[in-house]
Chain A
Amino acid sequence: EPEVTQTPSHQVTQMGQEVILRCVPISNHLYFYWYRQILGQKVEFLVSFYNNEISEKSEIFDDQFSVERPDGSNFTLKIRSTKLEDSAMYFCASSTRGGLSEKLFFGSGTQLSVL
């Protein structure tokens, strides 16, 4: 069964450093998302992406964050200058369509630790 893959599974970085989290969505999917879950807290929406542009973003997704689909297969989340509070599990997800009934397929996540 096709799946969303995320690399790396764990990322440790120093505060103030840039990190790029990578995702390969399911090949025929058109809509892409990033969510995150801080330890002990809810899964939170960050951003949705369609047709090479952001379709919606949350308040969390400030200027320090950016997303890109640099080629036909990868979808990346960049955090320019990491803060301690960015430590979380980051999940990439994709879906075939953006319609209301569309379910999301999630990757296994990247655990980001900012020291």
Chain B
Amino acid sequence: DQQVKQNSPSLSVQEGRISILNCDYTNSMFDYFLWYKKYPAEGPTFLISISSIKDKNEDGRFTVFLNKSAKHLSLHIVPSQPGDSAVYFCAASGANAGKSTFGDGTTLTVKP
């Protein structure tokens, strides 16, 4: 039962353009959504999060959008930079915030 799904295993964009990473979830009990970035040989690093009571959260070049009715969220990175190349995980949590359910990840490649 995949409660959190990232349907695109990979995404390639040109430097300076927008990267849009998508995530869908099935469990309506999720209250909080997070995006983590992961480089090879490192652990996931927190990027940005959003509460279910909001539909948008912005932090610099990163914006997360939440559509609760569609059970869909997306991460926008603009402008994309080569250093953004990494695996991006969407994660969702309910009452126990530390117990996050992760998606499969999307490998983003930003080409110079």
A-B residue pairs in contact (CB < 8 Å), sample of 25: A4-B43, A33-B99, A42-B104, A43-B105, A44-B102, A91-B43, A91-B44, A95-B98, A98-B97, A98-B98, A100-B32, A100-B51, A100-B93, A100-B95, A100-B97, A101-B51, A102-B97, A102-B98, A103-B34, A103-B46, A104-B44, A104-B100, A105-B46, A109-B42, A109-B43
Tell whether, in the assembled complex, residue B43 and residue A108 are in contact, meaning their CB atoms are under 8 Å apart. yes
Interface size on B, residues (CB 8 A): 26
A107 contact set on B, CB distance < 8 A: 43
Tell whether, in the assembled complex, residue A108 and residue B42 are in contact, meaning their CB atoms are under 8 Å apart. yes
Minimum CB distance partner of A102 in chain B? B97
**B67 interface residue, CB < 8 Å from A?**
no
Contact A45 to B99, CB < 8 A, known contacts A100-B31, A101-B32, A103-B49: yes
Give residues of chain B (9-62) contacting chain A, Cβ–Cβ below 8 Å.
Answer: 31-32, 34, 36, 41-46, 49, 51
- Complex-state Cα separation, A31 to B97, whole angstroms: 10
B32 contact set on A, CB distance < 8 A: 100-101
- Complex-state Cα separation, A41 to B51, whole angstroms: 26
- Complex-state Cα separation, A33 to B93, whole angstroms: 14
Q: How many residue pairs at the A-B interface have CB separations less than 8 Å?
A: 68
Tell whether, in the assembled complex, residue B102 and residue A31 are in contact, meaning their CB atoms are under 8 Å apart. no
B88 contact set on A, CB distance < 8 A: none
Tell whether, in the assembled complex, residue B43 and residue A56 are in contact, meaning their CB atoms are under 8 Å apart. no
Apart from A43-B102, A99-B97, 17 more pairs, CB < 8 Å: A4-B43, A42-B105, A43-B89, A43-B91, A45-B98, A56-B96, A91-B43, A100-B31, A100-B32, A100-B93, A100-B95, A100-B97, A103-B34, A103-B49, A104-B46, A108-B42, A109-B43
- Complex-state Cα separation, A101 to B104, whole angstroms: 22
**A55 interface residue, CB < 8 Å from B?**
yes
Contact A43 to B99, CB < 8 A, known contacts A100-B31, A100-B51, A101-B51: no
- Complex-state Cα separation, A72 to B102, whole angstroms: 29
Give the interface centre of A33, A56, A103, A105 by most chain B CB atoms within 10 Å: A103
Tell whether, in the assembled complex, residue A45 and residue B43 are in contact, meaning their CB atoms are under 8 Å apart. no
